[in-house]
Amino acid sequence: MSSVKPSPKPPLIASPLLAGVLFSIIWLAVGALLLSLLLHFTAMKESSLSTNALLVHGFASLAGGFTAGRRSESKGWYNGALLGLLYGAIIIIISFLASNASLSLHSALLLGAALLSGAFGGMIGVNLKK
């Protein structure tokens, strides 16, 4: 019998930040689909859509921060906050390019929510053992 342990397979995406952004975009797509289904099939009003969209962005950033923190194995809050800033900047740039939306209080709220939830997700992700 050999006492050599096989090395674990490296992840497909080596960068924790890139993996976190990818996971946050996937969760954003799931959340957007869920919101559109709720808007169509329930009595939910379009006036509450901006609040719900902010919650979806917060959850997507939390999931991305969790992934980035888990893969980085140290400095989870830092990696999660960096992911939140990057995610928020990507969303703001896309909204500017797609609908010519200008910077506003909503943009600042989105960036703040993404930063805080990403940092929190990173703290949780780095502290969970595999």
Yes or no: say if 51 and 107 are a contact pair by the CB < 8 Å rule.
no
In-domain check, residue 113? yes
Helix residue ranges, H only, the chain: 16-41, 49-72, 76-99, 105-127
Range 109-122 average pLDDT:
94
Range 111-129 average pLDDT:
91
For 101, the enclosing helix (H) or strand (E) is: none
Most confident of 9-13, 42-46, 71-75, 118-122: 118-122
Least confident of 1-15, 32-46, 48-62, 85-99: 1-15
In-domain check, residue 40? no
Per-residue pLDDT at 1: 55
Q: How many folded domains does the chain comprise?
A: 1
In-domain check, residue 121? yes
Q: What is the extent of the structural domain holding 120?
A: 16-31+49-127
In-domain check, residue 115? yes
d(CA 47, CA 98): 21
- What is the chain's mean pLDDT, rounded? 88
Q: How far is CA 70 from the centre of its chain?
A: 13
- Asked whether the predicted pLDDT for residue 129 surpasses 70, the reply is no
Range 63-89 average pLDDT:
91
In-domain check, residue 7? no
Q: Can you give the pTM of this predicted structure? A: 0.85
